[in-house]
Amino acid sequence: MAESESLTYGRYLHLDDLLGAQHPLSRPEAHDELLFIVQHQTSELWLKLALHELTGACDDLARDDLPLALKRLARVKHVQKQLIEQWSVLATLTPTEYQQFRGFLGSSSGFQSYQYRAVEFLLGAKDPAMIEVLGTDEAARALLTATLERPSLYDEFLRLLARRGHPVPADVLERDVRTAHREDARLVEVFRAIYDDPEHHWDVYEACEELVDVEDNLQLWRFRHLKTVERTIGFRTGTGGTTGASFLRRVLDLTFFPELYAVRTAL
């Protein structure tokens, strides 16, 4: 009790550590480097929460608790909105301002964000090669490896549908979850039956739309990332040797839940 009574706001949140974690590298120190650091640090905090909620949603689906999974996905969508809106803050960084500290960033790149990769893995876009990007960061490699080896959110949803009596093919349920899901026309028919009769399948129908919302938000985040990069560095090579805007434009074509989009054409 005594320890609890002496607890302060700053101590509970470890504000000394949190607010002391911004260390601009530019010399002389560029005024706008702090914006760049805070933008990315807060993004990583939101990604940490998104991972926490997505992992929980996967566990909920595995034990047939669809309502709780939907509650967690609703929170994920609010987190995504925060991540999307943050780009408008970074977009105030002009090309001239960025050039004052860009050279000090070395080989560091947002491409190396292991939490973002873990979110992609949980949503089903699995690529073991991404683990090698992390080099010798053992903690990051362990997180991505664990996420790679567990069923994705979509895998767990399809398993729940099968347990509910929907005709999800057995080979889809037994597939290697360490690989990315590929569009399957048979699943389009499963979802067509749900969308044709939402009154009798309301909870899974709602879940389908929640998944589409999550993907839409992630695509909006990707698009805002692309446009912020274009307005800041144009089409130059990104830090860390990435291809910059051209790479970001290509990933806009990637999808996590292809049958949930294909069913719209089939209806």
Please give the Cα distance from 228 to 93 (Å, whole number): 9
State yes or no: 102 annotated in a binding site. yes
State yes or no: 178 annotated in a binding site. no
Name every residue whose Cβ is closer than 8 Å to that of residue 139 and which is 6 or more positions away in sequence.
none
Please give the Cα distance from 183 to 18 (Å, whole number): 43
DSSP sequence for 172-229: HHTS-TTS-----HHHHHHHHHHHH-GGGSHHHHHHHHHHHHHHHHHHHHHHHHHHHH
Q: How is residue 257 annotated by DSSP?
A: -
Please give the Cα distance from 41 to 21 (Å, whole number): 9
* φ and ψ of 41, to 5 deg: -65, -45
State yes or no: 239 annotated in a binding site. yes
CB atoms under 10 Å from CB of 71, counted, come to 15
User: Which of helix, strand or coil describes residue 21?
Assistant: coil
Please give the Cα distance from 62 to 243 (Å, whole number): 39
State yes or no: 36 annotated in a binding site. yes
Please give the Cα distance from 221 to 250 (Å, whole number): 14
Question: For the chain, what is the radius of gyration of the CA atoms?
Answer: 21
State yes or no: 52 annotated in a binding site. no
Direct distance between the N- and C-terminal alpha carbons of the chain, in angstroms, rounded to an integer? 61
Q: Where is the binding site, in residues?
A: 36-40, 98, 102, 225, 239
Q: Where is the binding site for substrate, in residues?
A: 36-40, 98, 102, 239
Q: Where is the binding site for heme, in residues?
A: 225
